[in-house]
Amino acid sequence: MVNFDLSQVGATFRKKDKEYKDVVVPEEEEEDIDASEFEDDEILPQKVKNRRPREDDFTQQRLAALNPVLTPKTVIPIYLIIAGVFVIVGGCLLALASRVDEMTLYYQDCMTAAPTDDFADMPTSHYKYYFHNLPNFDTSPQWRFIDDPNDDFQERGTCQIRFTIPRTIKKTVYINYMLEKFAANHRRYVLSFSEDQLRGAKASYDVIHDSTGINCKPLARSSNGKLYYPCGLIANAMFNDTFPMELINVTDTSNNYPLTNQGINWKTDRQRFKKTKYNYTEITPPPFWEKSFPDGYNETNIPNIQEWEEFQNWMRPGAFDKSTKLIRRNGNDSLPAGEYEIDIGLHWPVTEFNGKKAVYITHGSSIGGRNSFLGIVYLIGGCICCAMAIVLAGCWVMSGRKIADPNSLSWNKH
């Protein structure tokens, strides 16, 4: 093992350091450095990166917060307030709905059951009245069938219906047709139309027939090679019973009540339905439109679906097998009390599927038609909230504990 003397090592380093200090650097070897060279140089400050968030309440998470403690004293009043609001709203909705007058006249059996020579009372099963100020009103409407000898279709002729309005129906007055047991919500039926055709595009056969999902596959092209316009099951089955442009005043025909087929649908539908770009030689009416277009299309009779509001209403299928669609209205005049007649052209058969069709007359209100469903829902919701408040109050009285009781802490329990 080698032993080092550390004192000798230190003396050696001190000797070397002294020799270095004695060395003199010649003046000519020194570099002349002018301090003025650095006077014009800019000293740029270095940008210090700081990841600290901004100093405000949001980034520093100092926003005011509300942390309510839910206790029976706070929850029970809330339930009661909600119950009170729901009951009041439901009662108002029911009161408004009960003030809407309406009349429903079923005429699907007019061709076979109505007399042809004179008017006769309709069966009690073929009409329904509701006039809120006259609950006992039950004057039977009358009907008569006028046959058309030149028409050989299954459904033909005119059904004349006379009815009595016991009191003035305030505007706006709506004339609707009602269909029952017509399954317009069938999956294949709902998807059978061409959106391209409805928007006015000159869609080819491949587009309207082979599109995924929505297409006109059952009724896209006729046997002569022409495209159906409009194609699909919905358009082909369009309701085509004809309704008049006025209600005839039986006692005074000079005071007939005018009707219109304008403004019977949503204004936004004009943005969806456009006039077609097809040439009349390229298209043909759907099979069930034969009665309206016996010779097919020509240069002047191609329907302009952008202006045809009855068609636009029909292209919005009902969600259930019973549906009502607006076909005439009068927003300018109230319907005075009296006896009126409406003449309906029969073209749309329903007996083959045991269906029903009717004319439905009503008027508008601030919540729409006479429908008590929404009011009943609010009342049920209010009752449920009230029941919950009673249950919570009972549980609190019978088995409640003191709020913030330290004896309920786990470490204080024995």
Q: Report the pLDDT averaged over residues 204-216.
A: 90
Asked whether the predicted pLDDT for residue 3 surpasses 70, the reply is: no
Supply 31's token pair: 């570099």
Average pLDDT of 180-199?
Answer: 92
Contacts of 249 (CB under 8 A, 6+ apart): 255, 256, 257, 338, 339, 340
pLDDT tens column, 306-340: 999 999 999 999 888 899 999 999 999 999 999 99
Res. 150 pLDDT band, cuts 50 70 90: confident
According to DSSP, the β-strands at 246-249 and 257-258 are antiparallel
List pLDDT tens digits, range 127-144: 999 998 888 888 899 999
Give percent of the chain with pLDDT exceeding 90.
57
Q: Please give the Cα distance from 264 to 129 (Å, whole number).
A: 23
First to last CA, the chain: 74
At residue 29 the predicted structure's pLDDT band, cuts being 50, 70 and 90, is: very low
- Please say whether the beta carbons of 175 and 328 come within 8 A: yes
- Check residue 224 and report its DSSP letter: T
Is the pLDDT at 219 greater than 70, yes or no? Answer: yes
pTM (2 decimals)?
0.76
The H or E element that residue 395 is part of is: helix 373-399
pLDDT in tens, 341-387: 999 999 999 988 899 999 999 997 777 778 889 999 999 999 999 99
Model pLDDT, residue 287: 92
Residues 105, 161: contact at Cβ < 8 Å? yes
Strand order in the sheet with 158-165: 120-121, 142-146, 158-165, 338-345, 246-249, 257-258
